[in-house]
Amino acid sequence: MKQNKKSAERPIHDVTINSLFRINLHALLRDRALRDKAVKKHGRNCLNILRSTYEGQHDFDKHINIEEWLSDVKPDRWSRKNFGEWSGVGPERMNRLLDDRSERKPQDPDFADLMKISKALNIPYGFLFYPTRQQLEDGVILRIQDFSPPLEISCVQWMAWASGLSVLPGMDAVATNFNSLTLTTSPMPGFDGNDIQPTADTQTPLDLHETRRISESLTSHTSAALEAIAGNPFSPSAGAEIPFDNTHLEQFALQKAKFIALLLHDVREAFYLTADEGRLDIATADINNSLKKIQQDLAVLALNVDKDLQLASGPLTKAHLHSVLELMCMKLENIDLEWTQDRTSFIK
């Protein structure tokens, strides 16, 4: 059945990258303040409920000290001024980043701002550029004005791009993923660690130092380029099952940088392979092979834990439990307010 043209049309929203940033940061600061208010009101009750769901976890209470937790809950810390101070962005700078109603044009964030804000909010920095919930629910096409000509992209694809999983329209997903492993970040000759690297002279013939720099970057123990080439999913054997190979895992155990890069590569590869309509007939093989590659990457990383990368994990981390409790308190407050409104309407 053919869709009616009008019903098939998707809404288009004109946005800029920085307008998405401002919308999201406004929402995040507002939501955090509201969560803190709800915690003040419902924290003790919600803690008892949450404790019952972790029955048998004897170390639950060591992660949550209710008095300490409630004393740290301060809704005012999410104001522009206060958040600007403790995030390291600065109160005046934060105000200018968010002030889109002033006669003065708001300032655009630089990368350092994004890193500080993301760290303070405990989120990946790409989250600051996500489409809004309403845009995702409505399947909106974003028309991003920063590009020339403006770039039209589905909000879901933009979210995947902001997360580092996908590419923008017109880009080659396979080449983009491969370039992340093969384009060198080695300093150029003459770089002393303080000055800006000298610009490549396009008129000068190739020399030994330059070619050696590129060649050594590909064979460095931190590079995953050769492994990515060997695991090419577009080879003649595509669709055939790749065996899980653990014969060389131990010799790679110290090569953390290589396998972090390879893990990211293999996750992105799995994402675009499963989105390829032309590979539906071998989709099961693609999924299984991608899982094996990711399993091997994780197995190497697990063999010799890098203390520099150690992170708190598992269901009982302090920050995670705090977040769960905040959501529970917020939901409970919403139920209270909904019930109050319904009761008031009934009485009227």
Per-residue pLDDT tens over the stretch 100-115? 665 567 789 999 999 9
Burial label for 89, CB within 10 Å (0-12, 13-18, 19+), is buried
What distance in Å separates the CA atoms of residue 240 and residue 340, rounded to the nearest whole number? 60
Residue whose C-alpha is closest to residue 259's, from 301, 316, 303, 214: 301
Helix axes 283-303, 256-274, angle to 10 degrees: 160
Contacts of 165 (CB under 8 A, 6+ apart): 267, 268, 271
pLDDT of residue 251: 57
Per DSSP, helices labelled H in the chain are: 5-8, 17-53, 60-63, 66-72, 80-87, 91-98, 111-121, 133-137, 155-162, 173-182, 208-219, 225-230, 256-274, 283-303, 318-347
The residues that bridge with 208 in the sheet, in sequence order, are none
pLDDT at 199: 63
Residue 116: per-residue pLDDT? 97
**pTM, entire model:** 0.79
Query: What integer pLDDT is reported at residue 192 of this predicted model?
Result: 60
Per-residue pLDDT, 121: 95
Percent of the chain having pLDDT more than 70? 77
Residue pointed to by tokens 């300093």:
187
Per the DSSP assignment, residues forming a β-bridge with 143 are: 14, 152
pLDDT tens for the chain, 348 residues long, are 344 444 468 899 999 999 999 999 999 999 999 999 999 999 988 988 888 887 766 677 777 788 888 888 999 999 999 999 999 999 999 999 987 665 567 789 999 999 999 999 999 999 999 999 999 999 999 999 999 999 999 999 999 999 998 899 999 988 888 888 776 666 665 556 565 555 666 777 777 777 777 787 777 777 777 777 777 666 655 556 655 555 555 555 556 777 888 888 999 999 989 888 888 888 888 899 899 888 888 887 777 666 666 666 565 677 888 888 899 999 999 998 898 887 776 665
Distances (CA, A) of 172 to 192, 226, 345: 35, 20, 56
- The 151-154 sheet, strands edge to edge: 12-15, 141-144, 151-154
Q: Tens of pLDDT along 137-190?
A: 999 999 999 999 999 999 999 999 999 988 999 999 888 888 887 766 666 655
Nearest alpha carbon to residue 39 among 342, 341, 324: 324
pLDDT of residue 24: 95
The predicted pLDDT at position 6 comes to 44
